[in-house]
Structure 1
Amino acid sequence: MTAPSLVLGTAGHIDHGKSSLVRALTGTDPDRLAEEKERGITIELGFAQLELPSGRTMGVVDVPGHEKFVRQMVAGATGIDVVLLVVAADDGVMPQTREHLAIIDLLGIPKGVVALTKADLADPDWIELVIEDVRTLLRDTSIDGAPIVPVSSKTGAGLPELLAAIDSVADEAVSRQASLTMRLPVDRVFTIAGAGTVVTGTLWSGSVERDAQVEIYPSGVRGRVRSVQMHGAQAEKAVAGSRVALNLAGVERDEIDRGDIVAEPGSLTVTDRFDAHIAYLASEEKPFESGTRVHVHHGTREVLGRVLFMDVPALPPGGKGVAQVRLEEPLAPRYGDRFIIRSYSPMWTIGGGVVLDALPPRRTTLKPYERELLEALIAHDLSSAAIGLLSSRALPMTSAQIALALGVPRAGVADDLNKAALERLKVGNETYFVTEEAQQHLLGGIERELLAFHAANPNATGIAALALRDRVDRRLEPKVFDALLALATTRAIAALAEGQVRHPRAASTALAEEEAARVALVPLLRSQGLAPGTVAELATAVGIDAGVVRKALTKLVAEGTVVRIGPELHFDADVVSTARDRIVAYLKEHGEILARDARDITGSSRKYIVPLLEYFDSQGITKRDGDSRTLGRLG
């Protein structure tokens, strides 16, 4: 039996016989919970495996039909490739039939079959009327024209025809993206004694195998796949579209929950907002006002959020538009993901949409290039979208980063980027692309922030590179900012020295003062020998601000002219070397030395010799043993 690469999901009104039909088709009872057995309804997602006449196998998700459990229905439907819409022949179309079909349509499930169950309870004329009602209901939906097959789970009538119809539709269905990175929305979490944490779900994309490293989104917890199962059987590897269970090592039960996503490390963006193309159901009576609080269902997670429309105050029933969805809890969506919107209270399905940009700036008024980006994403024009994303982010990005943001393979955008009129930054072995406008803006930001820093800090000789990056744009990777700084130096916008950045036309007075302090401190410390002054005393002696003196001392320490023993204690390096030689010679002759002996042979005092000996201990020159010291390993 080959592993399934497609998932069949049921949908339909409560008590229309979905679970009974799955049991008749697969031999598996999808009602897992005792409460489900007692109440006769499916509450959580039930799973089974279906073998079709052609030999193809499909994972089967039996989702609940009760209106109170539409949340679980959405969770199951997001992983479905082919839907089996169940309508009871004796009841016909019912409220949850309509809501489930709306969800199927909003999620863009492209293939389906309708099972007209309980056909043994209705006469042929009535069945024909119900079939016509269903055809009308399906019109203009994603499964318009789906085959309709009357069946009876009780007598078995119609089951062979239903299997043949599912087989035919499955043959036309497109399997999920195996070329993208691995992504598994979690619908169940439990523990097994001796094994640990186990999660189940439908593998949305990519593949997963034993020992693969994974990350849990949105928490960021990392772990390893200890083992892979498909329908209770061990497997070396599972591919996109499969129903899988993963035993995770390094992930505790309380570190992962239903609604999380298990994915390749670093492959998803955690966000509290995303831009989307929204569809509002025509069956609604009131306009969809911008700013409305709603329930957002993405994958197996449900969070609260608000929908803010771009440029319009509201959508009319049946309308479509671009909006930014602001979330109260984070999600990890990808471009092209479908989601469902349900009203805040009372809860019912009012619409849905497609994720466009997973990490946009906070705004509802679009700039021209932002509008072009969203239009390109709606049209699946990846070439224009890649350039538009660079314009929107206004940051240097690699082709891999752009592909990740768009949720497409790198090859899908790399050629277009290489051919485009873009600026390029070499960062190590990687090439970063950036629009000319964005690069000029960033270089201008470096110059503006440097001049502002010098104006506010006239005595400072420069600012640390990371601190400057935070002032310019903290989204920049440090290595990318370093490349921008290198470019800025070639254009005389910035100057780099000893880990600090300054503007070439600024800080000349501060630099001159610091150099004057440096020149004065060297002979002063040499003359003070083993009794140097504090920083404040040194500043008074040379007549220069203590802050400038401290910076000059730091540079003298870096070049080896001065030795820093503590925050306030600095010695001339040659003086320290002479003291070290005398102490080492004494130890070689006597074997051990006390603090008073070191004081006497160096001509120092206890105030200075004790910290100096502790410094020699830290350097391995001496080794302390109680009150005495012996020769260290480097003495």
Structure 2
Amino acid sequence: MDVIATAGHVDHGKSTLVRALTGMEPDRWEEERRRGLTIDLGFAWTTLPSGRRLAVVDVPGHERFVGNMLAGVGSVPAALVVVAADDGWSAQTAEHVAVLDALGVRHGLLAVTKSDLADAAPVLADAGERLAGTSLGRLPAVAVSARTGAGLAELSALLEQLLAGLPAPDPVAPVRLWVDRAFTIKGAGTVVTGTLAAGTVAAGDRLDLGGELVTVRGLQSLGEPVESATATARVALNLRGVAVEQLSRGAALLTPDAFRRTTDLDVSLVSPVEDRLPAELVVHIGSATVAARVRPLDGSALRLRLTEPLPLRVGDRLLLRDPGARRVFGADVRDVDPPELRRRGAAATRAAELAEQPTGEAGALADLARRRFVRRADFVAMGWPVPAGVPAVGPWLVAPALVDELAARVPQVVARYRQLRPLEPGPPVAVLRSALELPDAELVPAFVRPPLSLRDGRVVAESAGLPPEVQRAVDGIRARLAQEPFAAPEAGDLVAAGLGARELAAAVRDEQLVRISEGIYLAPGAAEVARARLAGLPQPFTLSQARQAWGTSRRVAVPLAEWLDARGVTVRQPDNTRRLR
């Protein structure tokens, strides 16, 4: 299906032309039909001679309903500009075309209506010239009469050509359906309608609505039930899990986690503005309308602060409207998570960054370089593609140039830490995270390279050892234990050797001593030696028998036996004897 919007003045016969083209009444309200005045959005559809389905969004032409008009054109890729032969170009026509130009609409047709009442040629020429200077460019044009039917066949043929030339929407893109109507149907519940500009929606889908998940119970397109709909399409979704009172025009149904809701964003004006912008503007996107405070940065760059969050992405086109002066401006979203501007000159610096920032993958790399680290899901939700080859650590993306730079700093951090704390093998992960200014400790392994390694939550060097004086003392203790493996030195002997609590803990971490219990230290391999000696005893054995086999005192034997129990070397029996496992 294809979707287009009408544009033009209230008296130019837009709705009449839509009725003649589709055979449907686009004006939904009795007041609209009675007054001949489109007040709100109207919808109609038809099948063209080729079999192609076309939906038409008929927008209000009166200046008092410009807000409704903007809600109708925001998601539509093409426009039918309607001008009357007996009236010509009007202020409202100019306003509608200015909106289309600001939105960057590049596909459309010009229809001059009421050709039975006046010569259409002058209006075709005048309107064509006016449109040529906009984003629409020189449009195919036709003179028509809804009353006589003249030109309707030609209009259908031009519509066929227009629709065939529209860029194909991405069927697998995330869904962002801007709601233009919400109502209830007896027996069905809440229903919303909108123009699906990208992606696919199907019955059973779960969509995000203001942070809450709702389920698509069913859907229709052009008045018929369908299992799924693919952009571009007019759709009506029957929702489960939401009351109609929770919905209004401007709400958005989103693929979960695919968009970033933001109140602060940086944008660039599409065209230069001669006059100074007001401090407040109205932002339009899709069917949403939100007020915004404006902070000019420099040149065409602006910082907007919205009064309500909107789900936006980099590359979105916004319409900024000055309601006081009836001016509209197009603006491209450049950043949905902009940096704070605290220092003097920060605004101008930020504007220069935006002016130099490219689009696509090059822009993504530039943005990633500024952020240094960003979660992949957040980066994609901002609207950036993930460039090929970008370093990834778990859920994190890392600026390419940063990996080697930070890895080169790690040895310095480790050496400095060891200098200040020689008894520790290296800094804890949390210390290195802080030194490298990493947002999460899970990034640390990406920057630790040989001869450094991660061990027990610390970054250590393979050659890391004990300070010389501590090493000499430990060597002395181990020499004694080599002769008598279970003759653990007394506390006084340890102190006399210069081994306090910190030195002993360092020797244990370096796997040069084994801590059996408080104050009891043996050499590595003590468990194997103890087991070998117990193997020569009758099973089960008493603690006294074990002590004699080990050749040690009760001071050592009791904690050693419990240590072996805890490691599964021995099993304690109900009668307090033990056996080897």
Q: Which has the larger radius of gyration?
A: 2
Q: 1:158 to 1:367 in 2, by over 3 A?
A: closer
Q: Aligned equivalents of 1:44 and 1:407: distance in 2?
A: 35
| 1:130 CA displacement | 1.8
Q: Aligned equivalents of 1:396 and 1:201: distance in 2?
A: 33
Q: Aligned equivalents of 1:58 and 1:511: distance in 2?
A: 83
Tell me, what secondary structure is at the counterpart of 2:12?
coil
Q: Aligned equivalents of 1:265 and 1:105: distance in 2?
A: 31
Q: Aligned equivalents of 1:441 and 1:186: distance in 2?
A: 47
Read off the aligned partner of 2:238 and give its amino acid letter: N
> Residue 197 of structure 1 aligns with which residue?
190
> Residue 334 of structure 1 aligns with which residue?
313
Whether 2:288 is the aligned partner of 1:288: answer: no
Q: 1:141 to 1:253 in 2, by over 3 A?
A: same
Give the one of 71, 90, 97 matched to 1:94: 90
Conserved? CA contact 2:175–2:200, under 8 Å: yes
> Residue 22 of structure 1 aligns with which residue?
18
> Residue 256 of structure 1 aligns with which residue?
247
Conserved? CA contact 2:16–2:146, under 8 Å: yes
Q: 1:357 to 1:36 in 2, by over 3 A?
A: same
> Residue 150 of structure 2 aligns with which residue?
157
Whether 2:402 is the aligned partner of 1:437: answer: yes
Conserved? CA contact 2:291–2:306, under 8 Å: yes
Give unpaired runs (5+ residues) of structure 1. 313-320, 456-460, 517-521, 525-560, 562-572, 574-580, 582-635
Conserved? CA contact 2:178–2:253, under 8 Å: yes
- TM-score, scaled relative to structure 1: 0.65
Q: Aligned equivalents of 1:67 and 1:177: distance in 2?
A: 34
> Residue 545 of structure 2 aligns with which residue?
none
> Residue 614 of structure 1 aligns with which residue?
none
| 1:212 CA displacement | 1.5
Give the one of 317, 320, 324 matched to 1:346: 324
Whether 2:58 is the aligned partner of 1:62: answer: yes
> Residue 109 of structure 1 aligns with which residue?
105
- 1:137-156 paired onto structure 2 within 5 Å: 137-156=130-149
Post-superposition CA distance 1:366-409 (Å, at most 9, x none): 369944762x12xxxx23122112112211554x765543355x
| 1:146 CA displacement | 1.0
| 1:145 CA displacement | 1.5
- 1:322-471 paired onto structure 2 within 5 Å: 322-343=301-322, 345-346=323-324, 348-363=326-341, 364-366=347-349, 370-371=353-354, 374=357, 376-377=358-359, 382-398=360-376, 402-406=379-383, 413=387, 417-418=388-389, 424-427=391-394, 432-437=397-402, 440=405
Tell me, what secondary structure is at the counterpart of 1:270?
strand
Whether 2:306 is the aligned partner of 1:306: answer: no
> Residue 53 of structure 1 aligns with which residue?
49
Q: 1:397 to 1:21 in 2, by over 3 A?
A: same
Q: 1:81 to 1:442 in 2, by over 3 A?
A: farther
Q: 1:469 to 1:66 in 2, by over 3 A?
A: farther
Conserved? CA contact 1:26–1:48, under 8 Å: yes
Q: Aligned equivalents of 1:32 and 1:207: distance in 2?
A: 27
Q: Which moved more, 1:32-41 or 1:350-359?
A: 32-41
| 1:132 CA displacement | 2.1
Q: Aligned equivalents of 2:353 and 2:193: distance in 1?
A: 38
Give the one of 445, 450, 453 matched to 1:486: 445
Q: 1:426 to 1:340 in 2, by over 3 A?
A: closer
Q: Which moved more, 1:231-240 or 1:385-394?
A: 385-394
Post-superposition CA distance 1:202-238 (Å, at most 9, x none): 111111111122112xx21112211121011011110
Post-superposition CA distance 1:240-290 (Å, at most 9, x none): 1100011122233344332122121111111122232213477xx73336x
Q: 1:491 to 1:304 in 2, by over 3 A?
A: farther
Q: Aligned equivalents of 1:64 and 1:511: distance in 2?
A: 83
| 1:26 CA displacement | 0.8
Conserved? CA contact 1:339–1:354, under 8 Å: yes
Conserved? CA contact 2:103–2:319, under 8 Å: yes
Q: Aligned equivalents of 2:429 and 2:246: distance in 1?
A: 38
Whether 2:235 is the aligned partner of 1:270: answer: no
> Residue 188 of structure 1 aligns with which residue?
181
Post-superposition CA distance 1:404-460 (Å, at most 9, x none): 43355x6xx4xxx22xxx5x3442xx6844333378579979x99xx99xx9xxxxx
Whether 2:284 is the aligned partner of 1:297: answer: yes
Q: 1:294 to 1:195 in 2, by over 3 A?
A: same
Read off the aligned partner of 1:338 and give its amino acid letter: R
Tell me, what secondary structure is at the counterpart of 1:119?
coil
| 1:489 CA displacement | 6.1
Conserved? CA contact 2:85–2:118, under 8 Å: no
Q: 1:512 to 1:274 in 2, by over 3 A?
A: same
> Residue 79 of structure 1 aligns with which residue?
75
Read off the aligned partner of 1:234 and give its amino acid letter: P
Post-superposition CA distance 1:482-518 (Å, at most 9, x none): 1x23346668999886xx889999xxxx9959989xx
Q: Aligned equivalents of 1:492 and 1:370: distance in 2?
A: 39
Conserved? CA contact 1:277–1:356, under 8 Å: yes
Conserved? CA contact 1:373–1:389, under 8 Å: no
Q: Aligned equivalents of 1:80 and 1:123: distance in 2?
A: 31
Post-superposition CA distance 1:295-346 (Å, at most 9, x none): 111111111113334434xxxxxxxx23333322211112322111111x42
> Residue 541 of structure 1 aligns with which residue?
none
- 1:214-225 paired onto structure 2 within 5 Å: 214-216=207-209, 219-225=210-216
Q: Aligned equivalents of 2:254 and 2:372: distance in 1?
A: 27
Whether 2:124 is the aligned partner of 1:128: answer: no
Q: Aligned equivalents of 1:438 and 1:25: distance in 2?
A: 61
| 1:30 CA displacement | 1.3
- 1:537-548 paired onto structure 2 within 5 Å: none
Read off the aligned partner of 1:391 and give its amino acid letter: A
Tell me, what secondary structure is at the counterpart of 2:71?
helix
Give unpaired runs (5+ residues) of structure 2. 342-346, 421-425, 465-499, 507-516, 520-561, 567-573, 575-581
| 1:152 CA displacement | 1.9
Tell me, what secondary structure is at the counterpart of 1:365?
helix
| 1:88 CA displacement | 1.5
| 1:362 CA displacement | 3.2
Q: Aligned equivalents of 1:79 and 1:338: distance in 2?
A: 11
Conserved? CA contact 1:221–1:255, under 8 Å: no
Q: Which runs of 4 or more aligned residues in structure 1 lie more than 4 Å from their structure 2 counterparts after TM superposition?
A: 400-404, 438-445, 461-466, 468-474, 487-497, 500-505, 510-516
Read off the aligned partner of 2:181 and give its amino acid letter: R
Conserved? CA contact 1:178–1:205, under 8 Å: yes
| 1:182 CA displacement | 2.1
Conserved? CA contact 1:391–1:438, under 8 Å: no
- TM-score, scaled relative to structure 2: 0.70
Conserved? CA contact 1:389–1:402, under 8 Å: no
Q: 1:464 to 1:87 in 2, by over 3 A?
A: same
Q: Aligned equivalents of 1:67 and 1:514: distance in 2?
A: 85
Read off the aligned partner of 1:172 and give its amino acid letter: G
Conserved? CA contact 1:50–1:59, under 8 Å: yes
Read off the aligned partner of 2:317 and give its amino acid letter: R
Conserved? CA contact 2:85–2:113, under 8 Å: yes
Q: 1:342 to 1:71 in 2, by over 3 A?
A: same
